[in-house]
Amino acid sequence: MSKPPRSPLLPLETALAQLLAALDGRQLRTEMCSTLQADGRVLAQQVVSALEVPPQDNSSMDGYALRCADVAPGRALPVSQRIPAGSQGAPLQAGTVARIFTGAPIPPGADAVVMQEDCQEVPGTNASSPAIQVQTQPQVGQWIRRRGEDVTLGSTVLQSGSRLGPAALGMAASVGLAQLQVACKPRVALFSTGDELVMPGTVAPQDMVPGSIYNSNRFFLAALLRRMGCEVTDLGIVPDRLDATVQALRDAAQVHDVVLTSGGVSVGEEDHIKPAVQQLGQLDLWQIAIKPGKPFAHGRVDAAHFIGLPGNPVSSFVTFLLLVRPFLLRMQGVQDVALPSQPMRADFDWPRADRRQEFLRVKRNAQGGLDLFPNQSSGVLTSVVWGDGLLDNPPGRTIARGDMVQCISLGDLLG
């Protein structure tokens, strides 16, 4: 009896498009969040400024505010007032200067600031009236930050759907917002299946029984989920029984948006994820044209999304970054989820072309090129610890030393 023909491998772009399409029509859940606590959250409403920043012309230096026309070689200009930040100066008297500090408003009548290093203090008309001589010829407008040069009234300073970082939080604070409307964190349940899995700390390395392995995927997947702004429920290791797997999925789907597992979606007798998901909902098994990471599963258990990743650690790590990361970001309202890449020089040879799109673990070197980790096996987690990038190699392409290639920074994906 002949075997049924294999389904064609799905291109990564097609798989990602189908995965994101599963979110179409989903109502975005939002909440208010303290601006101080909003790092990494996704903004759900654009921020429009209700003021100008800065609100008035101010000094960008410690020094002296003056009229350029009053400056002449050897001329002593008396200091008529002192203006610290947070105070308001009086109009500047002609032929005088105002001692001014960074951030202080420019007094009316002044048209420049001279930094204190370019001034020399000289005796004034009396001991209580100091004066200065300016050692350089100032230009109108120098060292003055103009009103509204950063933010104008009514301008949009932060776009909805943007992921907030430290600079964005500072911008929100600069226009007076103590709270921001953000997307709710996706609630993700994470569990592992496999009686061969052992938690670090429960069994010493020398006491591991043959066939058992430490559960590394659980650790990096939990960390990746948190970096993507998720609330993670770690359900641990589920026994290799169909009834236990069904119960774990049913319970997780009740209170989570996503259930994520790695391994256990093949057709082996001990692989219970596939029949368990099919019993409770629906499951699509995809064979994706990427290396590493060909097997991938997506489906639904009640209202929750189910995602099944490959069991090999590098495959699980890479497919998370390529597919789960953009899925979770889009779930939070981020529209631009494209993989950020840049051209770089390969400082190695890769003579073995593959029919799949390859993601090789590479590292930038001191010469500005890329070095290749010598072992690209999907089970060698050392490659992603050592590397700082994924080289996106199209199907059927070999690489010769000196070729320009596309590199995806792991730092960009993990930030």
pLDDT digits (tens, 9 = 90+) for 93-134: 999 999 999 999 999 999 999 999 999 999 877 766 799 999
pLDDT at 267 over 70: no
Residues in the chain, how many? Answer: 415
Residue 192 binned pLDDT confidence (cut-offs 50, 70, 90) = confident
Kindly tell me if the per-residue pLDDT of 270 is higher than 70: no
232 and 141, same domain (yes or no): no
- pTM of the entire predicted model: 0.87
CA–CA distance, 274 with 93 (Å, rounded to integer): 83
Report the DSSP beta bridge partners of residue 100: 63, 83
Return the pLDDT at 195.
Answer: 73
**Residues 110 and 209 reside in one and the same domain:** no
What is the pLDDT at residue 415? 77
Please give the Cα distance from 323 to 296 (Å, whole number): 9
The per-residue pLDDT for 369 is 98
Q: Residues 212, 196: contact at Cβ < 8 Å? A: yes
Q: Do 36 and 24 fall into the same domain?
A: no
Band (144; pLDDT cuts 50, 70, 90) = very high
The CATH number that applies at residue 374 is 2.40.340.10
Query: For residue 15, what pLDDT is reported?
Result: 95
How far is the C-alpha of 189 from the C-alpha of 222, rounded, in Å?
9
Amino acid 400: pLDDT? 98
Last residue of a domain, one of 331, 365, 384: 331
The amino acid at 115: M
322-368 pLDDT, tens digit each: 999 999 999 999 999 999 999 999 999 999 999 999 999 999 999 99
Tell me which of 211 and 15 has the higher pLDDT. 15
Q: How confident is the model at residue 1 (pLDDT cuts 50, 70, 90)?
A: very low
Give percent of the chain above pLDDT 90. Answer: 81
On average, the pLDDT of the chain sits at 93
According to the model, what pLDDT value does residue 238 have? 85
Number of domains in the chain: 4
CA distance 356 to 163: 32
**pLDDT of 269 higher than 50:** no
274-322 pLDDT tens trace: 899 999 999 988 899 999 999 999 999 999 999 999 989 999 999 999 9
Band of pLDDT at residue 379, cut at 50, 70 and 90: very high
| Choice between 269 and 34, residue whose per-residue pLDDT is larger | 34
The answer to the question of residue 336 being in a domain is no
Q: What is the pLDDT of residue 3?
A: 55
Q: Are residues 265 and 291 in the same domain?
A: yes
Range of the structural domain that residue 350 is part of:
341-414
Cα(23)–Cα(354) distance, rounded to whole angstroms? 32
In this structure, are 229 and 281 located in the same domain?
yes
Q: Which amino acid, 240? A: D
Asked if 215 and 98 sit in the same domain, the reply is no
Q: Identify whether the C-beta of residue 293 lies closer than 8 Å to the C-beta of residue 360.
A: no
Residue 78 pLDDT > 50: yes
**123, 145, 167 - which closes a domain:** 145
What CATH number does the domain containing 133 carry?
2.170.190.11
Same domain for 284 and 378: no
- Among the candidates 168, 183, 198, a domain finishes at 183
Q: Both 348 and 405 in a single domain?
A: yes
Which pLDDT does position 6 carry in this prediction?
A: 65
Residues 191, 286, single domain; the answer is yes
Same domain, 125 and 163: no
Q: Are residues 405 and 395 in the same domain?
A: yes
4-57: per-residue pLDDT in tens? 556 689 999 999 999 999 999 889 999 999 999 999 999 999 999 999 999 999
Count of CB atoms within 10 A of residue 342's CB? Answer: 11
The model's confidence at residue 224, banded by pLDDT at 50, 70 and 90, is: very high
Does residue 20 share a domain with residue 100? Answer: no
* Residue 170 resides in a domain: yes
